[in-house]
Amino acid sequence: MLSSSIINTLASFSPAEWMGMPKNYSVHGDTVGHMIDVVTWLMIALFVGWTLFFLISLFKFWHKKNPTASYHGVENHVSTHLEIGVVVIEAVLLLGFAFPLWAERTNDYADVKGQNPVRVRAIGNQFAWNFHYAGTDKKFGFIDRTLAKVKGDPCLDPTDPYGYDDFTSSTLKIPVGRPVILQVTSTDVIHNFSIIPMRIQQDAIPGKDIPMWFIPKEEMITSVVCGQLCGSDHANMKAMMEVISQKDFNDFLNKESKKSLKLKGHDK
């Protein structure tokens, strides 16, 4: 009884969260969190093991006790067995945890596209994020990357009517409980769009719109950061993300779309 309760306590303990990883807020996030925890346990074991080995070596091969060097080296095979053990654990992590998780994510993407997802383009630039919304018509205007004039430019073709109500925001606002597909891109160098509380990140590559998706479970406010060293001010490359109610999200869309139509002179 006691041993099973100890095992249960250990299994529910998250070393990654203990070391500062924020709580999970996405539907798929617990499986990713579990994998991060298993990897963290392995790293803790390796850290403790290597530290002990270092300390034992310091004392065992102390100069005073061993005035002449040994030319035979290690004769037993403990280190070989340990190395094989680590390789086996790493193979299990990759084949047993990472691959199935990745397969699940890519398989589910087809279903998510049919579940009325919210689509937003996340545009990285040195050193900020810009979020491009399709507006109330839910259709993005034609994107022509040769039109890029400023940092984080959504590169909208001004002659495409689908783009008239498109707008951009420096805060990422998304509704709770609905799949979100973010199309991640960049207008300069490679960045990485990283939402730690949603347990997801994706490289932002100039010239490509790469989708990443998740379903936020609760209303919350957090910061989204750049996860790829991208220049001198990389550490300050962050933006706010707000998970809000569907009603608040609709109000936000309507208000910003109207503003955009007015600004571009298409509000008649």
**Residues of this chain that bind Cu ion (CB under 5 A):** 191, 226, 230, 237
Q: In whole angstroms, how close is the CB of 62 to Cu ion at the nearest point?
A: 49
Q: What angle do CA 141, 190, 180 make, to 5 degrees?
A: 50
Q: In whole angstroms, how close is the CB of 107 to Cu ion at the nearest point?
A: 30
Rounded-to-5 percentages of helix, strand, coil across the chain:
40, 25, 35
Q: What phi and psi, each to the nearest 5 degrees, are found at residue 264?
A: -90, 0
Q: In whole angstroms, how close is the CB of 236 to Cu ion at the nearest point?
A: 10
Q: In whole angstroms, how close is the CB of 19 to Cu ion at the nearest point?
A: 24
Positive or negative CA dihedral for 218, 223, 224, 229?
Answer: negative
Cβ nearer to Cu ion, comparing 122 with 230: 230
Cβ nearer to Cu ion, comparing 173 with 191: 191
Cβ nearer to Cu ion, comparing 49 with 231: 231
Residues 6+ apart with CB under 8 A from 75: none
Cβ nearer to Cu ion, comparing 155 with 226: 226
Cβ–Cβ < 8 Å for 32, 17: no
